[in-house]
């Protein structure tokens, strides 16, 4: 079994989050089963880990928002950028419009 993935940054991030928040919280947040996350963390995952790695980096990698200067997760950035226009709130609408023009806007 190949455990080379255990040396990568995404794995360290995943392990840190599991230790801090528990497998259930992490699995819920990244959209994988508790079993899959447990197997990955313990080096027993038999499949390819590239999708798990991508999801971990997407959810737990922080970025500085050019609009408000806050540090947010890449997932929060994506969620805001791709959400429907928040017509009920002028402040959120201003934020959303800035996301449309943002040079860091995620795909």
Domain residue spans of the chain? 4-58, 62-101
CATH placement of domain 4-58: 1.10.260
Give the rounded distance of the alpha carbon of 61 from its chain centre: 6
What integer pLDDT is reported at residue 3 of this predicted model?
61
Q: For 14-72, what is each residue's pLDDT tens digit?
A: 999 999 999 999 999 999 999 999 999 999 998 899 999 999 998 888 888 989 999 88
- How far apart CA 31 and CA 27 sit, in angstroms, is 6
Residue 56 exposed, middle or buried by CB count within 10 Å (0-12, 13-18, 19+): buried
What integer pLDDT is reported at residue 1 of this predicted model?
40
Confidence band of 80 (pLDDT split at 50, 70, 90): confident
pTM of the predicted protein model: 0.63
């Amino acid at each position: 079994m190949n455990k080379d993935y255990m040396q990568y940054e995404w794995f360290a991030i995943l392990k840190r989050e599991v230790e801090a928040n528990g497998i259930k919280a992490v699995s819920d947040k990244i959209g994988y089963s508790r079993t899959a996350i447990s197997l990955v963390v313990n080096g027993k995952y038999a499949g390819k880990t590239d999708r798990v790695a991508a999801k971990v980096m997407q959810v737990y990698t922080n970025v500085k928002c050019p609009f408000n200067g806050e540090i947010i997760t890449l997932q929060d950035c994506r969620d805001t950028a791709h959400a429907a226009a928040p017509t009920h709130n002028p402040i959120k609408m201003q934020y959303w419009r800035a996301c449309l023009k943002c040079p860091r806007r995620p795909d």
